[in-house]
């Protein structure tokens, strides 16, 4: 490869890297895993992956989860930044 080709390849890789970084900071994203589960990215370091039936059970409990969180608000922590938590 010539020096010009190497520079072009490096610039292309930098652009891809920047695009990936921007995508990671934009929030949550969804993906179908290799095994057919639904993965949610952006909540933490690793994705949360459940199968369709599991997501339906969890979503059906949304009101119960919110009520439980409200009832236990003083014991629950809020994540402020990566690797830290804040007690409310």
With cut-offs at 50, 70 and 90, classify the pLDDT of residue 88: very low
Angle between helices 52-60 and 62-71 (to 10 degrees): 50
Looking at residue 79, its pLDDT comes to: 82
Q: Evaluate if residue 82 carries a pLDDT over 80.
A: no
**Are 78 and 88 spatial neighbours (Cβ–Cβ below 8 Å)?**
yes
d(C-alpha 63, C-alpha 46), whole Å: 25
Mean pLDDT of 18-24: 71
Structure token pair of residue 50:
């459940």
26: pLDDT strictly greater than 90: no
């Amino acid at each position: 490869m010539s020096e010009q080709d190497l520079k072009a390849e490096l610039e292309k890789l930098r652009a891809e890297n920047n695009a990936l970084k921007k995508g990671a900071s934009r929030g949550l994203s969804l993906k179908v895993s290799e095994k057919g589960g639904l993965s949610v990215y952006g909540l933490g370091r690793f994705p949360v992956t459940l199968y369709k039936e599991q997501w339906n059970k969890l979503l059906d409990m949304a009101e119960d989860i919110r009520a439980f969180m409200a009832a236990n608000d003083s014991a629950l922590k809020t994540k402020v930044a990566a690797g830290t938590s804040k007690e409310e």
